Amino acid sequence: MLLLSCPDQPGVVAHVADFIWRNGGNIVTAEQHTDHIDGLFFQRVEFTLDGFAVERNEIAEAFAPIAERFLMHVRVHFSDERPRLAILASKSAHCLVDLLARSAAGELRADIALIASNHADHADLAAFHGIDFHHLPVGDDPPAQDRAMTALLQSERIDRVVLARYMRILSPDFVDTFPNRIINIHHSFLPAFVGAKPYRQASERGVKLIGATAHYVTADLDQGPIIDQDVTRVSHRDDVEALARRGRDLEVIVLARAVEADLENRVLVWGHRTIVFH
Amino acid sequence: MLLLSCPDQPGVVAHVADFIWRNGGNIVTAEQHTDHIDGLFFQRVEFTLDGFAVERNEIAEAFAPIAERFLMHVRVHFSDERPRLAILASKSAHCLVDLLARSAAGELRADIALIASNHADHADLAAFHGIDFHHLPVGDDPPAQDRAMTALLQSERIDRVVLARYMRILSPDFVDTFPNRIINIHHSFLPAFVGAKPYRQASERGVKLIGATAHYVTADLDQGPIIDQDVTRVSHRDDVEALARRGRDLEVIVLARAVEADLENRVLVWGHRTIVFH
Amino acid sequence: MLLLSCPDQPGVVAHVADFIWRNGGNIVTAEQHTDHIDGLFFQRVEFTLDGFAVERNEIAEAFAPIAERFLMHVRVHFSDERPRLAILASKSAHCLVDLLARSAAGELRADIALIASNHADHADLAAFHGIDFHHLPVGDDPPAQDRAMTALLQSERIDRVVLARYMRILSPDFVDTFPNRIINIHHSFLPAFVGAKPYRQASERGVKLIGATAHYVTADLDQGPIIDQDVTRVSHRDDVEALARRGRDLEVIVLARAVEADLENRVLVWGHRTIVFH
Amino acid sequence: MLLLSCPDQPGVVAHVADFIWRNGGNIVTAEQHTDHIDGLFFQRVEFTLDGFAVERNEIAEAFAPIAERFLMHVRVHFSDERPRLAILASKSAHCLVDLLARSAAGELRADIALIASNHADHADLAAFHGIDFHHLPVGDDPPAQDRAMTALLQSERIDRVVLARYMRILSPDFVDTFPNRIINIHHSFLPAFVGAKPYRQASERGVKLIGATAHYVTADLDQGPIIDQDVTRVSHRDDVEALARRGRDLEVIVLARAVEADLENRVLVWGHRTIVFH
């Protein structure tokens, strides 16, 4: 699979398609997007490797002349890749339980390498699923915990980090270690209700819908590129606790969809926005 | 129909129901809400007047002892009331066309007394529907236009004002003349994207849903009590113009639902929030 | 809490409210519905028992004169009741995992007394949650398995049965043993695609939305009173397997909402329809 | 713009893209779909004609060698084409009003050539928009009316027919005259509630969502290829009239989206299903 972006110009699609066809591949899915304001072209092309004339580890090199000609930024992925994923959680279990169930059902294109938390609560759940659990309490030294978490993820060669209601603000160093590789679920329809206690904010504002937003984590809190969002209808009857309860169902599904899109290499980050192909 | 609010305490429902039953009414619908934080009780009771022992213009007085005992704020309405409604619009026609069509189909419990605009565009449409049209251009003196509009609505004894994409900021005097009687449609999911050009803001933030919000107008711009909201899914493919086009369908439906709820006296304003009964 | 239905007539609300007020109760929530075609009145009244003049086990008797006068059918419930619930599942785990997670989070007003299945797959999951698991294979004698399941549920004094993708058709005897006490999740938007393989049927018909329906089980397959339904958007890109995968997320949430409504005694069955209060 | 379908095989994308690039076109949008069960490939390619080496009326011929090689079925369209559209309506105005408003706002890529009805109601509305109105009453001879309508549409060289709540069943001859060129809005979520009075059927079944379906008309009533569908939540409070009222808002938006997709040549019919590109 090729994920590419380049300045928009005639011939890009023709050359990419020709490369695949000449080497004996058949395009399974192809999606493209042109941003007319910035003059940029984006494409995701998935093709068969069965009988492909180029070995999989030589595809990038073989494609390099085309990439150079069109000034492309290219990523090459394979549908059988299984990145090592770490799930970070705090007290709440709902997103964690859901991701583990999806993994157990074979729905996630990743190996969950570890679960880590600032609390000890989920050790049994991790054990039930046969996944390593790391308890890194915050204690008196939050920066030390943050450094320890970063070090753990590095030493375990983690490719992607999912914050499944992990209620810690990550340090810039942590974030920089995994650029566009950390997915967070925020319990509001961003950019409404950034920061803490969004359900309380929503209740006080009297909104008629509450939302959840999955986004890549950047150094700017709650400002990262949005991958997916959804909302559900609420009413005056719903107090803060009821909003939180209804919100949990949203958080679960929005985070799951975002993680799946990311793992299937359907997301291209472009500035602080995303292109999410189907 | 009684719309009431009072401190929450035992006996309120019993006394209201007893008043209706003793006088020979049958309760058609009744909805109530208790706010446990502020200790307030809200109720909307709709009952038959056929054979009711109290004349309709004496109901408020007959009910006064109960209202006083429970420190109630009470509104009495009748389902055959037809408030005089003014629609204010600017260039865009979509919300105006929709409201006129609903009125023509007999779906609005109101008489559209007039259409007014800072532009002349909708004169023919108003004429087609047999409704007076007032063109009040802004010219060099915006405050004068605002005063003229307020005066027009007062002299025409307008009960409710609908801002159907009327792109003027109302003066505090205008707003104070119609407290909780002006409904606006804002083209975003408030409180996200307050102020001007919300679709541009939404495009730049890269959100995956856009929204529309109908609210009562208060002196604080875009901060009034929300009556209804809705969203629709968008993607990277939608530029600002596409967002605006998709948003128009949202604006139409959200404004219509809010106007209907208001005209059916299903909305209670409470602080800067609303209770919307079914 | 009182759940009642009776012929519609003046005075019902007044007498019910008076009963509660005279005995020192305060109404927390009250919802009512009048069916004007059949002339029936339905009400759910939740009130405080703290300081109530009637003992909880004597409320039904104390209320009997009112019930008789208005020919009411009455159910009395208490918010601290915890019915004994059995979950029946087959191979698929998603609905079962979700209900167990909700129970573990304290969100279900019930005790999960047992999990039973025609397969052995979920024994470990049940053990992790400390819940008895019963494996009742179908083998050569399906009616015998059905009878064994009925007997198990009776001997365990089960109050409600949730079919969490239990892929067996229940015998009339089974169904009659738990009238309006068995909740099933059907993986389509009923009445579209009754029967087997609804995702395949949906794919062949080329629908643009797929749905899920939670309903009480009656002797007529897929015809029981609907408690909740929801849909999600699909497209030509989604083959049968993709529909099934997307549908699972729907099944989970629709079943959970229906079970919660049922356990909170918010559902009244009326003919083959339901009234679901909030 | 090229809309094509052919047996799935390597090289199709490459040859199409090469044809466009060699002749100096730039691909603006391209979407494709492969049906793996039937082994079919579908593509919609929109490209710039500015400076294109082939005249627009010669594109089909120039492309013919590729089409023949890959056994393609090809349609060539231009974004400035404006097909002649006829809207057929009966008593209800809501869908008609909406389509006329969209046309007036410049949102439809078509010229509304005429409005025709079995009733006289909408003559003034048509006149207001400056569109010819034809009243073809049914009277004693329904087949004659059907033939007269078919003849009218043919003599006016109509390209597409929109049934905007036209409550007549079309004859097979009528349907065959406009294959996949007649769009109907059915007021249910098909295949639930085919036939007459779907809101009554929905009320009797006690569904919790009602829907609307836009589809191409075929000789089999309510069985044509579905273009778009949507639903809205209802409850026990909504009687048949309330369902109909809420349903009208659905009908308007679903029909509009289907008509827009059709006019933008984003719909490919394949068997009794559709592929709707974005």
User: pLDDT averaged over consecutive 10-residue blocks of chain D (278 residues)?
Assistant: 95 97 95 93 96 95 97 96 97 97 96 98 98 97 97 98 97 97 96 92 95 96 94 96 96 98 96 93
| Distance from C-alpha of A164 to C-alpha of A56, rounded to nearest angstrom | 34
Same domain, A176 and A230: yes
- Tell me whether residues D94 and B105 touch, CB distance under 8 A: yes
In this predicted structure, the answer to whether residue A126 has a pLDDT above a threshold of 90 is yes
Neighbouring CB atoms inside 10 A of B208's CB total 24
Contacts of C254 (CB under 8 A, 6+ apart): C185, C212, C213, C214, C228, C229, C230
Is C166 in the same domain as C31?
no
Give the model's pLDDT for residue A230. 97
Cβ-defined contact of A226 to B208 (cutoff 8 Å): yes
Euclidean distance between CA atoms C25 and C209, whole angstroms? 47
Which of B60, B65, B115 has the alpha carbon at shortest distance from B93? B115
The owner of tokens 């129901």 is B17
> C273 is written with which tokens?
């329809």
pLDDT interval class at B49 (50, 70, 90) = very high
The Cα–Cα gap between D251 and D215 comes to 12
Look at residue A95 and give its three-state secondary structure. Answer: helix
Q: What tokens were used for B2? A: 């009684």
Q: How far does Cα B270 stand from its chain's mean position? A: 14
Q: How far off is chain C from A277, nearest CA to CA, in Å?
A: 12
Strands A273-276 and A267-270: antiparallel
User: Do C15 and C50 reside in the same domain of the chain?
Assistant: yes
* A104-115: average pLDDT: 97
- Indicate whether A135 and A253 sit together in one domain: yes
Q: How far apart are CA C260 and CA C102, in angstroms?
A: 10
β-bridge mates for residue A112, sequence order: A85
- Same domain, yes or no: B58 and B184: no
For residue D17, which phi and psi values (nearest 5 degrees)? -65, -40
Domain C-terminal end among B59, B76, B93:
B76
Q: Cα–chain-centroid distance for residue A161?
A: 8
Given an 8 Å threshold on Cβ–Cβ distance, is A190 in contact with B207?
Answer: yes
Catalytic residue numbers of D, as ranges: 222
Mean pLDDT calculated for residue range C190-206: 93
pLDDT, tens digit, 9 for 90 and up, residues A55-109: 999 999 999 999 999 999 999 999 999 999 999 999 999 999 999 999 999 999 9
Cα B241 to chain centroid, rounded:
28
Tell whether C59 and C119 lie within a shared domain. Answer: no
The reply to whether B61 and B26 lie within a common domain is yes
Residue A185 corresponds to which amino acid?
I
Q: What is the pLDDT of residue B84?
A: 98
Over residues C174-185, mean pLDDT: 97
**pLDDT value at residue D18:** 97
Confidence of residue B143 (pLDDT cuts 50, 70, 90): very high
Best of D98, D232, D234, D255 to disrupt the B interface (most B CBs within 10 Å) is D98
Cα-flanking dihedrals φ and ψ of residue D22, to 5°?
A: -60, -35
Cis peptide before A83 (omega within 30 of 0): no
**Preceding amide of B191 cis, omega within 30:** yes
Show residues of chain D in contact with C189, CB under 8 Å: 189, 192, 209, 211, 231
Average pLDDT rounded to a whole number, residues A28-48 = 94
Nearest CB neighbour to D189, from listed C192, C235, C272: C192
| Residue of chain D whose alpha carbon sits nearest to that of B242 | D107
Read off the CATH number of the domain in which B26 is found: 3.30.70.260
Quick one: C97 and C11 in the same domain?
A: no
Which own/partner pairs from C135-141 qualify as long-range (CB within 8 Å, at least 24 positions apart)? C138/C168
- Nearest-by-Cβ selection for B93 from D101, D124, D235: D101
Same structural domain, C42 and C88: no
pLDDT in tens, B215-260: 999 998 889 999 999 999 999 999 999 999 999 999 999 999 999 9
Position C271 confidence tier, pLDDT thresholds 50, 70, 90? confident
Kindly tell me if the per-residue pLDDT of A118 is higher than 90: yes
> Which pLDDT score is estimated for A222?
86
ipTM computed for the complex:
0.94
CB contact under 8 A, C236 and D273: yes
Distance from D13 to chain C by nearest Cα, in Å? 18
pLDDT for residue A195: 87
In three-state secondary structure terms, D150 is: helix
Q: Write the CATH number for B147.
A: 3.40.50.170
Residues A132 and A193 in one domain: yes
Structure tokens at D38: 């039937």
For residue A61, give Cα distances in angstroms to A21, A265, B163, D1.
Answer: 17, 20, 60, 34
Three-state secondary structure readout of B166-232: CCCCCCHHHHHHCCCCEEEEECCCCCCCCCCCHHHHHHHHCCCEEEEEEEECCCCCCCCCEEEEEEE
Q: Which residue of A has its CA nearest to C253?
A: A249
C-beta atoms of C249 and A237 within 8 A: no
Q: Is the pLDDT of residue B183 over 90?
A: yes
**pLDDT range class, residue B195, cuts 50, 70, 90:** confident
Q: For B67-103, what is the HEC assignment?
A: HHHCCCEEEECCCCCCCEEEEEECCCCHHHHHHHHHH
Mean per-residue pLDDT, C118-123: 97
Cβ contact, residue pair C26, B10, below 8 Å: yes
Phi, psi of C179 (to 5 degrees): -65, 125
Q: Which helix (H) or strand (E) holds D89?
A: strand D84-89
Reported confidence tier of residue A159, pLDDT bands at 50, 70, 90: very high
Q: Is A222 a catalytic residue?
A: yes
C221 pLDDT band (50/70/90 cuts)?
Answer: confident
What is the extent of the structural domain holding B138? 84-276
**Contacting residues of B for A37, CB less than 8 Å apart:** 239
Residues A195, A215 within the same domain: yes
Give the nearest partner residue to A30 out of D11, D13, D24, using CB atoms: D13
- In the beta sheet, which residues pair with residue C3? C44, C75
Is residue A24 a contact partner of residue A53, using CB atoms and an 8 Å limit?
yes
- The predicted pLDDT at position B222 comes to 86
Domain stops at, among C46, C76, C106: C76
| pLDDT over 90 at C259, yes or no | yes
Query: Within this chain, do residues B269 and B238 fall inside the same structural domain, yes or no?
Result: yes
Question: From the candidates A3, A35, A180, A207, which should be mutated to test the interface with B, based on the most B CB atoms within 10 A?
Answer: A207
Confidence of residue A271 (pLDDT cuts 50, 70, 90): confident
State residue C145's pLDDT score.
98
Answer with the one of B41, B76, B111 that is the final residue of a domain.
B76
CA C131 to each of CA A93, C80, C105, C122, C155: distance values in angstroms, whole numbers, following the listed order:
19, 21, 15, 11, 16
What pLDDT shows up at residue D221? Answer: 81
Best residue in D27, D35, D50, D66 for a mutation probing chain A (most A CBs within 10 Å): D27
Q: How many folded domains does chain B comprise?
A: 2
Beta strands in B25-159 (DSSP E): 27-35, 40-47, 73-76, 84-89, 111-117, 132-135
Q: Tell me which H or E stretch contains D31.
A: strand D27-35
Q: What is the pLDDT of residue A220?
A: 87
Q: How far is D256 from chain B (nearest CA, A)?
A: 10
CA distance D48 to D1: 9
Q: Where do the H-state alpha helices sit in C48-136? A: 59-69, 94-104, 123-128
pLDDT above 90 (res B60): yes
Q: Do D237 and B93 count as a contact with CB atoms less than 8 A apart?
A: no
pLDDT at residue D220 in the model: 87
Q: Which amino acid is at C54?
A: V
Q: What is the pTM of this model?
A: 0.96
- Give residue C249's identity as a one-letter amino acid code: D
